[in-house]
Amino acid sequence: MSEGSFIIRGKAPLRISFAGGGTDVPPYSDERGGMVLSSTIDMHAYCTISPRNDKAMRIRSLDFAKEESWSANGQMLSYDGNLDLIKAVLNHFEVDQGFDMFLQCDAPPGSGLGGSSTVIVSLIGAVSEWLNEPLSQYDIAKLAYILERQELGLAGGKQDHYSAVFGGFNFMEFRGSDTIVTPLRIKNDVLNELHYHLLLCYTGRTRDSANIIEDQKKGVSSGSREVIEALDAAKDLAAETKDALMRGDIRRIGELLDESWQQKKRFTSAISNPYLDKIYATAKEHGAMGGKISGAGGGGYMFFMCEYDRKHLVARKLADMGVQMQNFSFDKHGLQTWRYRT
C-alpha cells in the first residue's frame, strides 16, 4: 500500500454522565477520590488523516470553521490557542510526515457531552493507527488526559477521556493518579426501558466549561465546606445510581438524577442560571421524575427521566421554550480506528 493510497480514521463516542460528574476533577479526585457513572451515545467525534508525499500538514476543523497549514520540519509546534489539541498530539508523536486532516464532531463545542476530550481521543487513535504505534485503552485515555489537562492546562476532569476510549456504560473510580474503569453488563430490557424514559435535549446555549470548573476547583482548594459536602454527596449518588441501574429500578434512577442535580448546583453558582432553572422546572411540572445538565453546567445538553406516557408532553413544553430535542441511542463501542484504501 503506497503512501497517499489510504486514509486513516478515528471515531470516538460522546457521553452523558448520570452521576458523580465533578468528583473526577482535581484536586478533589486526588484528595478524596471520585466516582462517575456515565454512558456513551451514538454521537461521535471523527478524525480523518490522509497521508501526503510532502511535509505539508493541512488541517480542516469543521466545528471551528478553521483551516490551517503547518510544516513537518522536525520542530515542535507552538501553542497559541489555535487548534492546540491537534498540536499537542502531533508533538507527542513527533510526527514528521505530511498529511491532510479533517475533524468533525456531532455536537457543537461547549455542548457538555465531552466534546473536546472525545476529539483528542479520536486524534490519538487515528495518529497511533497511522504510525503503527499501538496503545492500550488505558494508555490512550491517560495520554488524552495528560495532553489536554496538563500539557495544555485546559481545566476539566478525567471521565470524558475514559468514556470515549472504553465506550458503553461504565462506573469509573478515580483514586489519586489511578483510574479504574468497570464496564457494566446491563440487561437489554433494562437498557431499552431506560432509553424509553430518557429525553435528551439541547438548550441552545453553549458555555465555557473551563471557567465553571475553575470556580469549583477554587472552592475545593479553599476548603469550602458546602462545595466539598456537595461533591461528597455527588460521589455517593454515583454509587447509588449504579446500584439502581443494575437492579433495573428506573424510577429510583429518576429520583437520584434529581438529587444529583440539586447537589451539582452547589459546586458553584455558575452551574445553573434562570434559563436552565426554568427548563428544569417546566420538565418536572409536566412529567419528568428528574434530570440534570450534562457536563460542567451553564448550558449545552440536559437530559430528563420522564414518565413514559408523559415524555412527549415534556418534549412539547420544552420545544415551546426553544429547546431542541435530540434523538439518540446508547452506544456500546468506544474508540474505533481503521484504514481504508482510496
Catalytic residues: 160
Enumerate the β-bridge partners of residue 293.
Answer: 302
Residues belonging to the chain:
342
DSSP helix/strand/coil, 13: strand
Is residue 168 a contact partner of residue 39, using CB atoms and an 8 Å limit?
yes
Contacts 24+ apart (CB under 8 A), 66-73: 72/96, 72/97, 72/98
List, as one string, the DSSP characters of 259-314. Answer: HHHHHHTTT-TTS--HHHHHHHHHHHHTTEEEEEESSSSSSSEEEEEE-TTTHHHH
C-alpha cell at 117: 476530550
Q: In this structure, how many other beta carbons lie within 10 angstroms of the beta carbon of residue 184?
A: 13
The CA distance from 288 to 164, in Å, is: 28
